[in-house]
């Protein structure tokens, strides 16, 4: 987001110029200009802006919630038949737990306002509190949006970061330790680092730019997933003793494609509503621009992955194309406003190429990522954060790299510690017999495809 603003601050922006193949960007109104424009129309115009800004985040939050269905279907398609119910159960419980943890702890840590425990570094302690029922106009701060719409939008992003981890560690993790890790990630790890940018913390003060979260959301999930995959180890039989890789096909490619398209659709809310305002001509034009560029990033990633997989493997690999589209979306998320359609497509295409080249790299390192979340969310997230400097003249490559490294070290090291503690205390993996049997039977008790036996 042009920074998730601290709640009750005015959503505004900075005029940005496009470079490379970019079309001219419509600059966001500066906060003072928005206030003057609203004041010219009187109190009714100010209230209308407040209502429209709130509606944008409510509608965007609904679209981002829909991404939970996308992750569930994508993972259900990429895992084997015997583990589908487990993945679906993980997605439902993980989403619910993430929302609860963010309400109880995460929201105030991420948006402390003036109540930082350590200024710019550690946020406030407390639960999220909404405005009273039937809020009167004279009691509202009309410069931004409702607290309820802001919380609703933000909590969906928190849950998305957790969803990224689920697919990587699929098919060989027990439910309870996974949920405990999710609680730690969504209550503390994600909100702390997000406060450094979107809560007005030290990275934001340095000038770090991440419009909707290539680093703040996607790389965070990717780093946490990478740590989990390392501590957990690979699925049985994935890597042969001679070093060769055994392909383990997913159970249902139609479901995987459905999941991809649901995620693609949800991304319009993820990026588009991150404009945080649509009460002026400039803002609503920028919302449309962001959504169009988001789509362009996805098509660039899908086409690049298709072309490269055909060139390298002599066949177009559907799994590469699925993840190529998602990597294109992640790549453009850090800056979907300032590029033109051509540049956004190119940024997404690089993301698609990253997937094709990095999946075999992970296999050489014997890091088993079932759904390809590490290439999609971590590697493409890093690329997207760097790519901001090509279209936004306010971006500084040094600052962008500092933010990538800072967030990466923090999330990866904390995640390693949490995964290691959970492994030592309760164990992460089911027994070898349960893995062979499948977690649907061993842990869930409900098979996704009982008739296929």
As a whole number, mean pLDDT of residues 347-361 equals: 97
**Which of 222 and 3 is assigned the larger pLDDT?**
222
Contact 388, 398 (CB under 8 A): no
For residue range 183-204, list pLDDT tens digits in order.
999 999 999 999 999 999 999 9
Average pLDDT, whole number, for the chain?
A: 91
pLDDT of residue 126: 95
d(CA 417, CA 397): 30
Tell me the pLDDT tens digit for each residue of 156-172: 999 999 999 999 999 99
**Which of 166, 158, 14 lies closest to 75, judged by CA?**
166
Residue 52 within any structural domain of the chain: yes
pLDDT value, residue 137: 86
What percent of the chain is predicted at pLDDT more than 70?
91
pLDDT at 32 > cutoff 80: no
Paired tokens of 276:
């945080």
Give the chain's radius of gyration (CA, Å): 22
Q: Are 167 and 224 in contact (CB under 8 A)?
A: no
* 125 domain residue, yes or no: yes
The pLDDT score that the predictor gives to residue 369 is: 97
Q: Which carries the bigger pLDDT value, residue 51 or residue 37?
A: 51
CATH code for the domain in which residue 162 is found: 1.10.3430.10
Spatial separation of the C-alpha atoms in residues 390 and 373, rounded to whole Å: 25
Q: Tens of pLDDT along 327-340?
A: 999 999 999 999 99
User: How many helices (H) and strands (E) are present in the chain, helices listed first?
Assistant: 18, 0
Please tell me the predicted confidence (pLDDT) of residue 18. 33
Alpha-carbon distance values, 268 to 99, 299, 436 (Å): 21, 14, 40
Q: Looking at 7-16, 46-55, 145-154, 396-405, which range is the least confident one?
A: 7-16
In the predicted structure, residue 12 carries a pLDDT above the cut 60: no
Number of domains within the chain: 1
- pLDDT tens for 214-271 read 999 999 999 999 999 999 999 999 999 888 999 999 999 999 999 999 999 999 999 9
At residue 315 the predicted structure's pLDDT band, cuts being 50, 70 and 90, is: very high
Section 308-332 average pLDDT: 97
H or E element: which one contains 84?
A: helix 84-101
The rounded distance, in Å, linking the Cα atoms of 281 and 4 is: 20
Of the two residues 44 and 174, the one the predictor is more confident about is 174
Structural domain including 339 reads 43-131+141-443
Dump pLDDT digits (tens) for 51-86.
Answer: 999 999 999 999 999 999 999 999 999 999 999 999
In the prediction, which pLDDT does 215 show? 98
What burial letters (b/e) apply to 150-168, b meaning 16+ CB within 10 Å?
bbbbbbbbbbbbbbbbbbb
In whole angstroms, what is the distance from residue 217 CA to residue 291 CA? 18
The answer on pLDDT for 453 being more than 80 is no
Contacts of 412 (CB under 8 A, 6+ apart): 223, 224, 226, 227
- pLDDT at position 41, please? 59
Look at residue 305 and tell me whether its pLDDT is greater than 90.
yes
| Least confident stretch, 247-251, 351-355, 373-377 | 247-251
Is residue 303 situated within a structural domain?
Answer: yes
Taking 70 as the threshold, does the pLDDT of residue 23 lie above it?
no
Report the distance separating Cα 213 and Cα 225, nearest Å.
Answer: 17
Helices (H), 334-371: 341-364
Residue 31 in any domain: the answer is no
Q: Does residue 136 lie in a domain region?
A: no
């Amino acid at each position: 987001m042009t920074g998730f603003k601290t709640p009750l601050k005015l959503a505004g922006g900075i005029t940005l110029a496009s470079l490379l193949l970019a079309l001219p960007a419509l600059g966001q109104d500066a906060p003072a200009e928005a206030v003057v424009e609203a004041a010219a129309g009187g109190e009714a115009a100010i209230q209308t802006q407040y209502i429209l800004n709130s509606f944008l985040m409510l509608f965007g939050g609904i679209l981002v919630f829909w991404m939970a269905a996308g992750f569930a279907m994508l993972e259900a398609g990429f895992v084997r038949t015997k583990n589908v119910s487990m993945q679906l159960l993980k997605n439902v419980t993980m989403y619910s737990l993430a929302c609860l943890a963010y309400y109880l702890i995460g929201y105030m840590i991420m948006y402390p306002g003036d109540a930082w425990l350590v200024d710019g570094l550690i946020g406030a302690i407390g639960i999220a509190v909404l405005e009273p029922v039937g809020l009167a106009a004279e009691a509202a701060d009309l410069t931004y949006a409702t607290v309820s719409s802001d919380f609703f939008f933000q909590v969906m992003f928190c849950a998305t970061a957790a969803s990224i981890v689920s697919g990587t560690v699929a098919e060989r993790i027990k439910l309870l330790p996974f949920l405990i890790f999710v609680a730690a990630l969504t209550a503390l790890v994600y909100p702390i680092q997000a406060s450094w940018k979107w809560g007005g913390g030290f990275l934001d003060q340095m000038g770090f730019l991440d419009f909707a979260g290539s680093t703040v959301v996607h790389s965070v999930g990717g780093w946490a997933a990478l740590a989990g995959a390392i501590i957990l180890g690979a699925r049985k039989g994935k890597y042969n003793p001679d070093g060769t890789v055994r392909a383990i096909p997913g159970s249902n490619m139609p479901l995987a494609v459905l999941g991809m398209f649901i995620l693609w659709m949800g991304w319009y809310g993820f990026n588009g509503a991150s404009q945080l305002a649509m009460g002026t001509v400039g803002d609503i034009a920028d919302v449309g621009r962001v959504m169009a560029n988001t789509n362009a990033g996805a098509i660039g990633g899908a086409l690049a992955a298709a072309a490269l997989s055909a060139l390298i493997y002599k066949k177009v690999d559907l799994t590469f194309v699925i993840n190529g589209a998602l990597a294109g979306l992640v790549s453009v998320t850090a800056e979907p406003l300032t590029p033109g359609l051509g540049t956004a497509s190119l940024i997404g295409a690089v993301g698609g190429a990253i997937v094709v080249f990095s999946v075999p790299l992970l296999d050489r390192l014997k890091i088993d990522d079932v759904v390809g979340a590490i290439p999609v969310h971590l590697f493409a997230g890093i690329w997207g954060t760097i790519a901001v400097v090509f279209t936004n003249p306010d971006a500084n490559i040094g600052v962008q790299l500092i933010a990538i490294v800072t967030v990466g070290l923090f999330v990866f090291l904390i995640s390693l510690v949490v995964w290691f503690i959970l492994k030592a205390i309760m164990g992460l993996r089911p027994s070898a017999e349960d893995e062979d049997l499948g977690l649907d039977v061993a842990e869930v008790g409900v098979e996704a495809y009982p008739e296929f036996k």
